[in-house]
Structure 1
Amino acid sequence: MPFAASSGARIYWKLEGAEDRPVLVLLNSIGTDMSLWDAAMPGLLASFRTLRIDTRGSGASDAPDGEYILSMLAGDVTAVMDAAGIERAAIAGVSLGGMIAMELALGHPERVSAIALICTSATMDGTVWRDRIAQVRAGGTASIADAALQRFLSPAFAAGNPAVAASLKRNLVAQSAQGYAGAGAAIRDMDVIGRLPGIAGPVLVVTGERDVSTPLAGHGEKLLAAIPGASHVHLDSSHLPPIEAPAALVGALRGFLSPGPDAGDAAETLFEAGLKNRRRVLGDAWVDRSLANRTPFNAEFQAMITRIAWQEIWSRPGLDDRTRRLLVLAITASLGRWEEFRLHVRAGLSRGGFTQDDLKEVLMQTAIYAGVPAGNTAFAEAAELIAEIDGEKPTS
C-alpha cells in the first residue's frame, strides 16, 4: 500500500489510469474515505489519471490525536503528489475536500491547475462543529452516524439504495473518533472566505439540489460571488454527488476540465440526454441503483445502452412514450424477457405511463400472436406486480 509521510502521519493514496491522461486529484468529505468516489471511477478513468487520497483521520491514513488545520491537510496533499511524482494537477474535493482544495489553491498555487469545489463551503457554523466534535470525542462516530447519513444522502436515494446507505454508515462508524474530531476542527476553524478573491485559475462550484449541509443558498452562492470567474453546475443530488449522481458529476468535471468538441464530449452529451429519458421513463430510484452497480467491466455497456436505447430511440418523435412502453411490454413478453418485462410494468403503472386496462389489452393481443403460454406467464407476472404496487400505496 502506498503511503506518504507528512507532518508526523502516513497518508494513504492510490494512483490509477493511463499515464498519458491529465491528473485529477480526488479528495473525500469528512466521515468518508476514498471509496466515496467508487461509483464515479469508471467515468473518470475514461478521461483522467486519478490520484485518490484518504484525508488524514480517515480510511487507511493515520489519525493522530489533536486538532488539524486546513494548511496541514493541504500539506498532506502536496506530500502525496510528491510521492506520486505529480508536479501539478487539477483538484476535485467534496465538502471538507473542497475546503482543502481552496487552501491548496491559495497556499500552493503552483501545484494546482484548476479546482472543482463540490458541495462545500467557506462559511460553516463554528458552534455546530464545536458541539459535534465534543459529541464524537465523548461517544465515538457511532453517536453521530444516523444524523450524518441524513445529511449525506437524500431520503429517496437512501431508501432506494439501502446497501449503499448501510455501507456509508459502517465506514463512518468504523472511523477513528480522534481522526474525525481532528478533521472537524479544521472545518470549525476554517478561515478562507476573505482570501477567496486570491484564487487564480479555473474554478467550478458544484451544488446539490437536495444538499442540506452546503446548499447553493448561503454556501455555494458565497463561493461564486467571491472567486473571480468561477463557474457553476447545479446537480440533482444531496451532499455526496459521487455517490448519488456519479454520472452527472463526471459529466460536469469532464466539461470543466476537458472542454472542446471531441468525441468524448459528444458521447457524454448523448449519455446525459439519454439519462434524462431513462429517469423519466423508469424513475430516479431504479436508475440510481443501476448506476451505483456499474463496474469498470460493465460501465461501457451501460453507457452504450443509455446513449443508444434511451437517447437515440426513446427520443425519436414518431411515437409517444405510452406507445413505446406498450410495445416494450409486448416484445419482452413474447421473447420471455421477464426481468425487463417486470421493470417496465412496474415503471409504467407506478409512473402513470399506462393503465391496467392498457396492460390487459396488450397481454390479450400478445397471447394471440405470441402464444397462450407467453400470455399466461405475462398475466401472472403482471398480477404479482400489481399486488406489490397496491401494497406500497399509502392508505388514508
Structure 2
Amino acid sequence: MTSQTRTAITTGDGVRIVYRFDGDENKPVLLLSNSIGTDLHMWDGQVSALTEHFRLLRYDARGHGASDVPSGPYSLDRLGRDVVELLDALGLQRVHVLGLSLGGIVAQWLGIHVPERVDRLVLSNTAAYLGPANQWDRPIAELLEAPDMQVTAERFLHNWFPARMLQGDDEVVEGFRRTLLATQREGVAGSWAAVRDYDLRRTATLIHNPTLVIAGEHDTVTSADHGKELAATVPGARFTVLPTVHMANVEGQAEFVDAVVAFLTEQS
C-alpha cells in the first residue's frame, strides 16, 4: 500500500483545505466526508480495511482540523463546492463518496448538483432535512458566547456514542474528545448554520447515482426514520440499519465496513 501525507489546496474564496490520500494509486478513489466537530481522523479505524479495495481521499472540512476556519455562517453550497474544487485540483473526474452526518449532507449535495463527479454514494447517519431551522439559532449563539468547546464537546460525545463507550477511558472516545476540544468554535457554529439552512427533501429526488443509506438504530441525531425517509426519497436507494448510535463507522465498524465495501464493489 502507498500513502501520502497531508497537503492542501486553496479554494476560490481563499480557504485552505487540507487533505490526504491513503492506499494504492491504482485502486478506485473513495472520498470520505466527515461529521461536524471531527477531522479526517474520524475514519482512522476504517482505513486499513477500506484501503484493501480503494484509494482513500480524506479531507478536513472548512472550520475543522488543519483547514482554515473562516468566521461567519457556512452554506451547504459552499461546503459542496469545496469538495468539487478539491477534486478539480487533484484531477479526479469521478469518485465514490461516503459521507456521515454533515458529510452525508454534503454527499447528497454532490449527488444533486454534480452527479457526473460521483460514481456511487453512501449516505450514513444523515438526513435530507433537520429542521425546523430556528432550533439551531440558540445553540449557535450559546457556542459563540461560550469560553471554550467543553460543554459542546460533551454534548456531541453523548449524542455520538453509547453509554458503554462513554464509561471509563475509552481510547477511541478520548481521541474524538481531544479533536472536539481543539476545534475552533467558529468552525462548528459556521457548520451548524449550514445544517440550519439546508433542506433537501425535494431535491434529493434528483439523485440518480447508485445510493446506499445507512442509519443507526439508536441514533438520536439523525434517526433511523430520517434514514428511512431519505432512502425512500432517493430513487432506487438501498437502506440498512445498524445497531448503533450516531458514529456507526466507529461503534459498528465491522458491519459498517462490510456494508460499504459490498455496495461499492458490487458489479452493476
- The TM-score bracket by the shorter chain reads over 0.9
Give 5+ residue unaligned stretches, structure 1.
261-396
1:70 aligns with 2:87: no
**Any runs of at least 4 consecutive aligned residues in structure 1 with deviations exceeding 4 A, and if so which?**
none
Answer yes or no: is the 8 Å Cα contact 2:228–2:239 preserved in 1: no
1:87 aligns with 2:93: yes
How far apart in 1 are the matches of 2:242 and 2:168? 19
Q: Which amino acid aligns with 1:31?
A: G
Structure 2 match to 1:366: none
Larger RCO, structure (CA 8 Å, separation 6 or more):
2
Pairs aligned (count) = 259
Structure 2 match to 1:20: 26
Give 5+ residue unaligned stretches, structure 2.
1-5
Structure 1 match to 2:238: 231
Structure 2 match to 1:332: none
How far apart in 1 are the matches of 2:23 and 2:240? 25
- Paired residue secondary structure (2:202): helix
Deviation at 1:236, TM superposition (A): 2.0
Structure 2 match to 1:199: 207
Structure 2 match to 1:29: 35
How far apart in 1 are the matches of 2:23 and 2:170? 30
How far apart in 2 are the matches of 1:32 and 1:258? 27
Structure 1 match to 2:165: 157
Deviation string, structure 1 residues 297-325 (Cα, Å, up to 9, x no partner) = xxxxxxxxxxxxxxxxxxxxxxxxxxxxx
Answer yes or no: is the 8 Å Cα contact 1:44–1:250 preserved in 2: yes
- Paired residue secondary structure (2:105): helix
Q: Which amino acid aligns with 2:60?
A: D
TM-score of the aligned structures, taking structure 1 as reference length:
0.64
How far apart in 2 are the matches of 1:204 and 1:17? 23
Counterpart among 133, 144, 147 of residue 137 in structure 1: 144
- Paired residue secondary structure (1:114): strand
Structure 2 match to 1:251: 258
Answer yes or no: is the 8 Å Cα contact 1:135–1:143 preserved in 2: no
Q: Which amino acid aligns with 1:91?
A: V
How far apart in 2 are the matches of 1:207 and 1:258? 20
Structure 2 match to 1:297: none
How far apart in 2 are the matches of 1:188 and 1:137? 16
TM-score of the aligned structures, taking structure 2 as reference length:
0.93
Structure 2 match to 1:3: 8
How far apart in 2 are the matches of 1:233 and 1:36? 21
How far apart in 1 are the matches of 2:169 and 2:128? 31
Q: Which amino acid aligns with 1:60?
A: A
- Paired residue secondary structure (2:167): helix
Answer yes or no: is the 8 Å Cα contact 1:205–1:223 preserved in 2: yes
* Distance change (3 Å), C-alpha of 1:161 and 1:143: closer
Q: Which amino acid aligns with 1:132?
A: P
Deviates more, 1:133-142 or 1:172-181: 133-142
Report which of the two structures shows the higher radius of gyration computed on alpha carbons: 1
Q: Which amino acid aligns with 2:107?
A: A
Structure 2 match to 1:326: none
What percent identity do the matched residue pairs reach?
Answer: 37
Equivalent positions of 1:95-114 (< 5 A) are 95-114=101-120
Answer yes or no: is the 8 Å Cα contact 1:113–1:201 preserved in 2: yes
Answer yes or no: is the 8 Å Cα contact 2:22–2:47 preserved in 1: no
Structure 2 match to 1:220: 227
How far apart in 1 are the matches of 2:168 and 2:204? 38
Deviation at 1:245, TM superposition (A): 1.6
How far apart in 1 are the matches of 2:28 and 2:177? 33
How far apart in 1 are the matches of 2:216 and 2:230? 14
User: How large is the RMSD of aligned CA atoms in angstroms?
Assistant: 1.3
Answer yes or no: is the 8 Å Cα contact 2:217–2:245 preserved in 1: yes
Equivalent positions of 1:200-349 (< 5 A) are 200-217=208-225, 219-259=226-266
How far apart in 2 are the matches of 1:97 and 1:192? 14
Deviation string, structure 1 residues 362-394 (Cα, Å, up to 9, x no partner) = xxxxxxxxxxxxxxxxxxxxxxxxxxxxxxxxx
